Amino acid sequence: MKRRAVLHSIALALAASLAVSCAGPTRSAPPPVAARPAPAVRLRLATFNLQVFGPTKAARPEWLRAVAAIVRRYDLVAVQEIRDASGRAPLRLLDAVNAEGSVTYAMALSDRTGREPDDRRSQEQYAYLYRTDRLRVLGAPTLYDDSEADHFQREPFVSRFGLVGQDASLVLINIHTPPRRAVREIAAMEHVFRWARTRFAEEQVFVALGDFNAGCGYASETDLDALPIHGDAYDWVVPHSADTNVAASECPYDRVVIAAPEGNLLVEDWGVDRAFDETAPLSDHWPVWVELRLRPSTSRRRAPMAR
């Protein structure tokens, strides 16, 4: 009996082994499919010094129409040198921008700069004119608090923007340096970047743009290259060889500086927009533009930025 039981157990084991071998190899679960990265979103930004934009220019409909047509080429335009204590001139420009075309623009307008007693001789306003179907303001735009060190005659204007319908955002820093203090104030921009990174701790993409007066007799290449803001953590989109000045002299006054992990890899293209007749200029500066590629969800900080 015992022998028969042993033989029966062996037979059962052989049958089970044969069944497994006939069934073929065991299949493991397929590996998860990696999610495709979201496509990059293109954003066209420009900076434009309007050269003493106040009541006189705001009273000229043809000037307003011409500048408005330039603004409508871009998703956002950072404007410098608004000089109108009444505040009506920038509102008239916004009305002109929205008078034609199907796209609506909004404006983030700064308070008057020159808050410190020794800076009040040159008070101006900055503005961001932006497409409402592409961008929205995140939080309250503000002038950089320069009260402690008083680095700037005209405090930079800082605003965070989000892309409508996208998980992507960036911080912009609008600046207009006085020509004779250009190198000093450009150097101090590193303090503004540092402050902005603290204020917007979740952000990764920071872009300074405006009239840096960064060229010709105001700032030499040697002076600029020696500044920390010209170091590895920053990428200068507009090179020293550019000409953003309408006059006969070739000066790279207007600049775009990026602080982001991807740096210049964010830049699809850039250029100087020679948008008007030099014999009847709208300003003494050409608009300067940059097209960025922002990838949704990658513009948010996942870890402290280190480059």
Identify the structural domains of the chain with CATH numbers, from first to last.
Answer: 41-294 (3.60.10.10)
Convert the pLDDT of each residue in 167-184 to its tens digit: 999 999 999 999 999 999
Give residue 301's pLDDT: 57
The beta-strand segments (E) located in the chain are: 41-53, 76-82, 105-109, 125-131, 135-143, 157-163, 169-176, 206-211, 235-236, 254-259, 267-272, 288-294
Q: Is the pLDDT of residue 233 over 70?
A: yes
Percentage of residues of the chain with pLDDT beyond 70: 84
Encoded tokens for 140 = 């309250």
Mean pLDDT score, 71-76: 98
Mean pLDDT score, 276-294: 96
Encoded tokens for 220 = 């030499």
Q: Can you give the pTM of this predicted structure?
A: 0.85
CA gap 217, 219 in Å, rounded: 6
- Tell me the pLDDT band of 303, cut-offs 50, 70 and 90: very low
Give residue 298's pLDDT: 54
Q: Is the pLDDT of residue 36 over 80?
A: no
Mean pLDDT score, 254-266: 96
Mean pLDDT score, 31-53: 84
Name residues whose C-beta falls within 8 Å of residue 222's C-beta, 6 or more positions apart in sequence. Answer: none
Angle at 210 between CA 126 and CA 119, to 5 degrees: 55
Q: Is the pLDDT of residue 192 over 70?
A: yes
Q: Is the pLDDT of residue 10 over 60?
A: no
Angle at 198 between CA 111 and CA 152, to 5 degrees: 40
Give residue 306's pLDDT: 37
Give residue 114's pLDDT: 84
Look at residue 115 and give its three-state secondary structure.
Answer: coil
